[in-house]
Structure 1
Amino acid sequence: MNEPMFWAWWGWEPLRFYHYMKGQAAGVTGLAQECLDDWYEQLHSEDVAKAAAELGINWAVTHFVKGFGLDYEKEEIARTAALTSICHRYGIKVFGYLQYGTILHETFFQECPQAKDWIQLDEAGAPQLWCGSPLRFLPCIHADEHHQYLRECIRRGLQDIGLDGLHFDNFYSRPCYCPRCRQEFRAYANAEIPPESALANEPHHDPVVRQWIRFRCDRLASLMEEISRFARAIKPDVKLIWNPSPIRGTLNQAALRGTDFRQLGPRAGILWSESGNFPGCRDGRLIHQVNFFKTAEAIGYQTFSTTWMRGAEGLGLPQTAAEIALNTAESAAFGAVPGSNWLLRPSHLHDLLSQGPLSCELKRNLDFIRRHADVFVGSQGDGEVTLFLDQESPAWEFSRSYGAFLAVQELLLRRHVTFDLVFSESAARRRPERLVLRISSRRLHDGISDSARVLDISGALGPASVSGSYQAAVAMTPEMEQESERIIAALGQREVTVSAPETVFVEARRTADQRRVLHCLNYDNQSAPARVSVAFLTPPAEVQALSPDREAVRLIPSHGRIELPPVATWAVLVWNDQA
């Protein structure tokens, strides 16, 4: 049995970057310079590594190369090497942060003047900027010289420093109109690059616009493959994390940034799920990351949650033990890698070193996952419903199709209907006994039309009910309520039926040895514990109820039903239905 993976953010910006941004970088906003220096020094200390290891953290993600230039960053790279050595003494493996999507041109061009030719250009010939920042230029995906620079960074990190993995941040591409891209696209499509404004007009009927989207997605995927192959030639067991800017709300990232997760995921190994969807009930909305995690499992990659709340230190960090418990539970329950992007931030580091309430809550949950590693490691989704979104509709009709996709997930979660996602007809056919919910698009799906258990969902269901971009939430509408009744009626007799408030989400899984698992998560865990009962069509002899809050309990179904002890945040039911 493999050891569960638990990660922590460990300062993935070099100190010079924090000074360069005048204390306005993510996670350190408003911190005075002298406090920033003290915190950064402490971050590299043996005391912090020891405390994190005692907590259960076994992977760190720390600074390596930000984009100033290798000579400019050599002192910070030396600190990365020293920190890596310390972490290794405490059994913590280290990812080095390698910024793909930023060239900090004020210093980089001094060190490497020819890099001026590596930059993405907009239609007017001006540099494309990272999030509008004039300090940060984006590199062109066809700039081979930039890729040679990346290879040198990779070599130094894996060979010279001894990093165990690399984290490629901002791995995406804005539309580029440089001479190199214009020439490559002419060869690809025998056409000129369309104006950037065409990417925002959905649905994309123009075949040239479709080719422009696919051209950029294909190139980014092949570049990921090239980089991965180079890294693994140096260190065969290297782990690579990528942040290609995940889908948030109904923003069409394939069109806007050239990132198609169904292409990138199988090549990536691990992808970030970065968003403002820190789980919980806030402002009358249910916030969660279920779509990110289930997409990862459907496509076949691991995912790390690096989610924010807004409000503290710029992007926002958790402040209560209940928030820590739910964030950890959600990742573990839905098959993601649990961890922490808050633990070592300036406002929270004292909590780690003093064994404060937030760190103790994290340790309690990580210990629970490790004690029951056989329930988590190698488990797979086992939903009663398959939700199918075809390969093409997200690229050409994104707002319509993906809005409906998110809306159906939300109504299933609130009605306690467990589900798995699929993105291909072959996957949809894999379990013919399951009801398939198919998001309708213009394309016919003859491959699963012979199944008697297919329910088509209108693409009109979704867009108006999805709000936000960085933090995306789905509000239930009367149309969604009606659709949920239609789905439950189509299910017929159900093997397992959960009765609980709609703020309790459930996830059905199978362990590696084929035991049944049902996770019950209370997203309103700042209020009273939730009452949950489960009815079985064919009751098992007994059900083991696990929770970080209490010792394991054996529950014997009575009249086919069990009542759970009150669920503060998380309960895990395990039973065996094998003859």
Structure 2
Amino acid sequence: MLRIKFMNAPVDDKIYDLAHSIDGAEMVAQMGFNWAFLAFNWGFPPEIEEQDWESFRSAVIHYHKVGVKIFGYIQSSNCVYQGSYLEKDWYALDPYGRKIPYFRGRYYTSLSNATWLAEVRERVRKIIEAGADGIFFDNAWVGGTGIDVAEMPLGPIGAYDEHSRRAYSNAFNGAEIPLVLDTRDPATRQYLRWRADIAVAAIRDWSQTARDLNPSVVITANSYDVIASNSYVAMGVDIENMASVQDVMVVPNFALPRLQEDNSVVANAITIGAVQSRVGNKPVATLPQRDGVGVERMATAKQLSRAMAESAALNAPMVVNGTGYLHRNEFTSLLHSRYEPQRRVMGAMNHWLEEHHAWLSERVPISPLAIYHPYEAVRWDWIKIAPIFFAACETLIQNGYPLRIVSDDDDWSGVQILLVPRGQVDGLDQRLTQFVEQGGRVIALGQSRPVATKTIWEGWRPLRHRIPHIRQLRIRVNQGAMICWRAYHRHRLSRWLAVRLKLQEAMNHSPLYIVPPPALQSALLDAIGRNFYPRVESDGPILLTLWAEKDGTRQLHLVNYQDTPQRVTIHLDELTGTWVYTPGVSEPPNKVVGSSIMLGVDVAKVLRSPHEEIEQ
């Protein structure tokens, strides 16, 4: 598949075969992972793919022998245009009647086509028969994808084939799918909601087939880059509805935690926290990368350690990408001997997490400071709302204030100060009124609120993109975007040029990691209170999260986003005895006592304060 997608690029076949062997399974187990994702179906027709199914079945046996469960991968919205699939009528079409390419040699399929739904259903049956413990539905969206630029979704978004048109028309009394998408337009919003619902319905259908065969099967899907991009519009991924048909949410993104040149932090914690606030008790796992498939280089051992510590600080598991890495222009995998340092560090971190699982897993957030994520509003007004939300989160991280993200139906227990970005959400004002009546304080960001004690950042627009609302202009702009899409996915020269110009990285990297000007940061910190506790004083950005265990024991998680160690001071509101743990280091914790505690932090620290050791 890598050769098809990337135009006959060199692949280290020996290393890829290792992943399906007992030796490969043992290497994965030694790294401390208890689940692995293995490809069962890449979208090839069955007469070509049957030999791969046997390899998958053997691999499942190997992994089960070493105590690792398997998610089987199914390609659910596109297929390889070969063999018996050449004559199928299930392909999604763009508004001009053309098949929509998904990399080279593959085309998107229509989730409104009953034959395609049945084809995936058959793959589900086979993957259960092969012994998989879970199923990962990749790219489960309707038709093509694109990007949201200034209220105008660009690219071959959605599907315009006869099956999709008929299904949409039947659902909305003869309505046509809009040719030009505009997130301010009610017709566009209606279509995009329908599109997201169709994807959820497809996964529900396939999941039911799986559960009929194996009631304990674990279902997940690709919730691609939600939060840091407008994937609701671009991909049709509705995280709330998707959560209703999945057992665990998996969010691949490009937020491998790191400092950028402007000192902003690409903080995966923002995505994790925002998704967690929307999906109830469903586990949220992210798969953070830096640049994306086809151009990804292996992260350093420290970068991977930081990413895992950051996920642990949010009480979330992390999926590590094991394949598709480029080394000297050849595709290789995590199992190559050159990546032994990375495997060793991940093994140490996973061992530490397992060692302390009892108290790491049973905790609830307790930060008195929280920020509200307006998911219902941001999908339609992304360019105005999302930058404000991210800028506020960045301000907290840059200044050592705790990060906690809440939503409409989330539990606001213990919250005393709530930051609320702009955006209209049904029922929000009533919820805020109740919050204030119970003693809470609201700080409005970018838009005044009736119950806000302070409004700041009014008139500040970190990102100012806009395409004039002229229909013919927008048609031409979108046609140009689709031409570029097709060229990138189908033509070697276009792909080569895009890689050389680093266009893929530019498209994948979110512009939202924004550090506000010092005056705006000061305005927010003044509104919160400079004497807020607990907080961290440091030279560089530090993630701080606060938790409580069932018996009242408090946890403070610190993650250093710098590549060099920092000396930090943790300011507490009372004299406290606390045990200091170093994630990834299996040594006894150190006991410290104080109301201002100085520590050296290389990658991460966890401070654990038993209730009886907190001065009353």
TM-score (norm 2): 0.79
Task: Give the CA deviation at 1:395.
Answer: 2.7
2:141–2:235 contact (8 Å) kept in structure 1? yes
2:272–2:314 contact (8 Å) kept in structure 1? yes
Aligned 1:376-525 pairs, distance under 5 A: 376-424=360-408, 426-427=409-410, 430-431=412-413, 433-442=415-424, 445-450=428-433, 451-452=435-436, 453-458=441-446, 461=460, 463-464=462-463, 469-472=507-510, 474=512, 476-479=514-517, 481-483=519-521, 485-491=523-529, 494-511=532-549, 513-525=551-563
Does residue 141 in structure 1 map to residue 111 in structure 2? yes
2:44–2:80 contact (8 Å) kept in structure 1? yes
Task: Give the CA deviation at 1:397.
Answer: 1.2
Residue by residue over 1:216-235, the C-alpha shift from the partner in whole angstroms, topping out at 9 and shown as x without a partner, is 12222222222222222221
Does residue 553 in structure 1 map to residue 589 in structure 2? yes
Tell me which amino acid in the other structure corresponds to 1:507: T
In structure 1, distance between residues paired with 2:323 and 2:346:
9
2:25 to 31, 49, 61: 49
1:272 to 247, 250, 273: 250
Residue 530 of structure 1 is matched in structure 2 by 566
1:166–1:239 contact (8 Å) kept in structure 2? yes
In structure 2, distance between residues paired with 1:492 and 1:286:
22
In structure 1, distance between residues paired with 2:372 and 2:380:
16
Residue by residue over 1:76-116, the C-alpha shift from the partner in whole angstroms, topping out at 9 and shown as x without a partner, is 11000011111111111111110112111223425xx3x32
Residue 137 of structure 2 is matched in structure 1 by 168
Task: Give the CA deviation at 1:295.
Answer: 2.3
Tell me which amino acid in the other structure corresponds to 2:611: D
In structure 1, distance between residues paired with 2:430 and 2:107:
45
Residue by residue over 1:437-489, the C-alpha shift from the partner in whole angstroms, topping out at 9 and shown as x without a partner, is 11222457331342331121116646429995412254545557525533553
2:298–2:325 contact (8 Å) kept in structure 1? no
Tell me which amino acid in the other structure corresponds to 2:166: Q
Aligned 1:241-260 pairs, distance under 5 A: 241-247=220-226, 249=228, 251-260=229-238
Task: Give the CA deviation at 1:569.
Answer: 0.5
The change in CA–CA distance for 1:476 and 1:151 in structure 2 (over 3 A counts) is: closer
1:179 to 162, 170, 174: 162
Task: Give the CA deviation at 1:167.
Answer: 1.1
1:125 to 77, 86, 97: 97
Residue 350 of structure 2 is matched in structure 1 by 366
2:315 to 335, 359, 376: 335
In structure 1, distance between residues paired with 2:164 and 2:30:
50
Q: Which secondary structure state, in structure 2, belongs to the residue aligned with residue 73 of structure 1?
A: helix
Task: Give the CA deviation at 1:67.
Answer: 0.7
The change in CA–CA distance for 1:477 and 1:165 in structure 2 (over 3 A counts) is: closer
Residue 3 of structure 1 is matched in structure 2 by none
In structure 2, distance between residues paired with 1:101 and 1:49:
29
In structure 2, distance between residues paired with 1:513 and 1:468:
47
Q: Which secondary structure state, in structure 2, belongs to the residue aligned with residue 172 of structure 1?
A: coil
Task: Give the CA deviation at 1:513.
Answer: 4.7
Task: Give the CA deviation at 1:339.
Answer: 4.2
In structure 1, distance between residues paired with 2:231 and 2:319:
26
1:408–1:480 contact (8 Å) kept in structure 2? no
In structure 2, distance between residues paired with 1:478 and 1:291:
16
Residue by residue over 1:182-220, the C-alpha shift from the partner in whole angstroms, topping out at 9 and shown as x without a partner, is 23223333353343432xx34x1x322221121112222
Residue by residue over 1:303-357, the C-alpha shift from the partner in whole angstroms, topping out at 9 and shown as x without a partner, is 333232349x833233532122112212222222134214796867686668932
Task: Give the CA deviation at 1:509.
Answer: 2.3
Residue by residue over 1:221-250, the C-alpha shift from the partner in whole angstroms, topping out at 9 and shown as x without a partner, is 22222222222222111112211322364x
1:67–1:108 contact (8 Å) kept in structure 2? no
Tell me which amino acid in the other structure corresponds to 2:141: Y
Task: Give the CA deviation at 1:162.
Answer: 0.6
Question: 536-545 or 143-152: which moved more?
Answer: 536-545
Residue 186 of structure 2 is matched in structure 1 by 207
Tell me which amino acid in the other structure corresponds to 2:597: I
1:242–1:268 contact (8 Å) kept in structure 2? yes
Aligned 1:66-81 pairs, distance under 5 A: 66-81=42-57
2:296–2:326 contact (8 Å) kept in structure 1? no
2:366–2:414 contact (8 Å) kept in structure 1? no
Residue by residue over 1:472-523, the C-alpha shift from the partner in whole angstroms, topping out at 9 and shown as x without a partner, is 2545455575255335533575341221233221122233554211111111
2:220–2:247 contact (8 Å) kept in structure 1? yes
In structure 1, distance between residues paired with 2:36 and 2:53:
15
In structure 1, distance between residues paired with 2:180 and 2:320:
38
Residue 11 of structure 1 is matched in structure 2 by none
The change in CA–CA distance for 1:501 and 1:279 in structure 2 (over 3 A counts) is: same
Residue 262 of structure 1 is matched in structure 2 by 240
Residue 9 of structure 1 is matched in structure 2 by none
Task: Give the CA deviation at 1:540.
Answer: 2.9
Q: Which secondary structure state, in structure 2, belongs to the residue aligned with residue 438 of structure 1?
A: strand
Residue by residue over 1:18-66, the C-alpha shift from the partner in whole angstroms, topping out at 9 and shown as x without a partner, is 3434665xxxx543xxxx3322332222222122212212211111011
1:498–1:534 contact (8 Å) kept in structure 2? yes
Tell me which amino acid in the other structure corresponds to 2:41: V
Alignment gaps of 5+ in structure 2: 145-157, 448-458, 466-504
Q: Which secondary structure state, in structure 2, belongs to the residue aligned with residue 329 of structure 1?
A: helix
In structure 1, distance between residues paired with 2:513 and 2:542:
16
Count of paired positions: 536
Q: Which secondary structure state, in structure 1, belongs to the residue aligned with residue 463 of structure 2?
A: helix
Aligned 1:27-42 pairs, distance under 5 A: 29-31=9-11, 36-42=12-18
Alignment gaps of 5+ in structure 1: 1-16
Residue 568 of structure 1 is matched in structure 2 by 602
The change in CA–CA distance for 1:476 and 1:38 in structure 2 (over 3 A counts) is: closer
Q: Which secondary structure state, in structure 2, belongs to the residue aligned with residue 508 of structure 1?
A: strand
In structure 1, distance between residues paired with 2:581 and 2:64:
36
TM-score (norm 1): 0.84
Tell me which amino acid in the other structure corresponds to 1:536: L
1:182–1:193 contact (8 Å) kept in structure 2? yes
